[in-house]
Amino acid sequence: MKRYIASDFHNGNEVSDYDRVMGFLDLVEDDADEFLILGDWEELLWSNLTILTTVNPYRHVTEKV
């Protein structure tokens, strides 16, 4: 079983490297049996779901997860 664990996916005060994040999520989709999301990622997801589900590039990452 392959397990991928991610943490600290957050945008902070600067624009995150969304190409890198999406590349990682593609790898997880293709290769992982289980994906665990920890830490700041959860805080980002729960901080403002309206923005995360409607505004690019956040929407693309949220849809992928």
Domains: count for the chain: 1
Q: What is the DSSP letter of 50?
A: H
Integer Cα distance of 8 and 38 in angstroms: 7
Each residue of 26-65: pLDDT tens digit? Answer: 888 899 898 887 766 556 555 566 666 777 766 777 676 6
Closest CA to 25 of 35, 16, 17: 35
Token digits for 32? 């992982």
Looking at the chain, which runs of residues are DSSP E strands?
A: 3-7, 34-38
Domain residues for the domain of 51 are 3-64
- pTM of the complete model: 0.53
Integer Cα distance of 50 and 19 in angstroms: 22
